[in-house]
Amino acid sequence: MKYNALALTCLLYSVSLSVVATESYCSEQEQTVFSCSLGKKIVSVCASKDISPTSGYLQYRFGKQNAPELIFPALTNAPSQRSGIQARSLMFSGGGGAYLRFINGNYNYIVYTAIGKGWGTKDGVSVEKDGKLIANLKCSDVPVSILGEDFFSRAGLSADQDEFMLPE
């Protein structure tokens, strides 16, 4: 009886991991910095496993499963392209969070995760055009995320100078 319960627990755990793993644009050769389902679409931030201030890459990917609509920056071999990527941690009473801002011309794609006392979790991607919020897509599942100061420092990301307010 104990072994059946253990086997069932292991099976359910492995099934849940495979569901999370399929809802990402990141490959096995990359590290998933952030990824979640947005209903019929997926948002992922993928990085090379060797990311540092002087090597590796960080890339925003968005679209339907197996059909990305936006990949930014386009190249995965130039650390200098990280100048269009900024990061920041958020601190709240009873919680905190972090986000990455990908700056692509007049558009900003902001991937965020946060938790706060009284309102729970907020995870997703916001899109701004000319500094104005034009879309906010909330994660429909629990995201995979390593967003935070440890990753930001390891990747050599600059601090976001604009203030990002979590959408309602």
Helix and strand totals (H; E) in the chain: 2, 11
**Per-residue confidence in pLDDT tens, the chain, 168 aa:** 443 333 333 333 333 343 444 489 999 999 999 999 999 999 999 999 999 999 999 999 999 988 999 999 987 766 766 789 999 999 988 899 999 999 999 999 999 999 998 889 999 999 999 999 999 999 999 999 999 999 999 999 999 988 899 988
- Domain ranges across the chain: 2-159
Question: What are the residues whose beta carbons fall under 8 Å from the beta carbon of 87, sequence distance 6 or more?
Answer: 98, 99, 100, 101, 147, 152, 155, 157, 158, 159, 160
The structure's pTM equals: 0.84
| Local structure of 15: helix, strand or coil | helix
